[in-house]
Structure 1
């Protein structure tokens, strides 16, 4: 039951992320819009204060590394352009395919790992994977954004 509910929730979240990402390309990018998502997400680490969410350090490291590897695809498809002296995120045609592909891989891994690891530990691991994806991606976006802002200032 948990597996089905979490899969449904993941699909809904995937759709919301896609819609948010598409809307994001219509408005100028700001520093806040880049920095706040990982900051807000980092509060999820509070789950590890509860013993049943804890996972071994090696598994946490592997999950974070997997997220960092997945983030490469997001970094490659996130480009900025200058319009009317403001920085905009360019809509990538590959982004939807990458997002769906990463989602499918994540879902398949979750179903596979969920057969051997408890539901709460699986949730912890996939939170770490997600954070491992968003952190490098947003840092790369931050550097690209600052570069474009410097181009405007020149």
Structure 2
């Protein structure tokens, strides 16, 4: 007799563990990057690198309806990007631009991770694990892309202001 629910699988456990480890790693990296000089390259590279993940859709098992994908992207771009944009501030210090860390940033990232884990379990009851992973990738891409575009806009404004006051 097993104490685990019938719907539990070790793939599910592995998914939760990988998600938690990834979330902790991202949180740690974001905290280390804060209050350090940033560049155009440091802002643009993460979404470009992440975009290679769309190659997963070459595999048919990850295919989802277009409307689902667009909805996931829209949720990431609006609901999940907003707190990141609000807690990420670029500031000019001398000749460099730095990302100033908000005290709420760590709580926002942890909150987003918890919401993702809870929503993941709900979605996984309706569609397959690979499709769930694909939808959450699209959601995360929407979040990262919009967040980084907001940072890019602020970075360009700060650079433009510096040049105007020379």
Residue 97 of structure 2 corresponds to which residue in structure 1?
87
d(CA) in 1 for partners of 2:150 and 2:124?
A: 32
Normalization by structure 2: what TM-score? 0.90
SS in 2 for 1:93: coil
Partner deviation per Cα, 1:76-135 (whole Å, 9 max, x = no partner): 111111112100001101111111111111110001111121000001000001001001
Unaligned runs of 5+ in 1: none
TM-score by length of 1: 0.96
Greater C-alpha radius of gyration: 2
How far has the Cα of 1:27 moved from its partner?
2.0
**Structure 2, gaps ≥5 residues long:** 1-9
Q: Are 1:140 and 2:150 counterparts?
A: yes
Written as runs of structure 1 = structure 2, the 5 A alignment for 1:4-153 is 4-69=13-78, 70-153=80-163
CA RMSD of aligned residues (A): 0.9
Structure 1 residue 65: Cα displacement: 1.0
Is the CA contact (8 Å cut-off) linking 2:35 and 2:100 kept in structure 1? Answer: no
Q: How far apart in 2 are the matches of 1:9 and 1:63? A: 21
Aligned length: 154
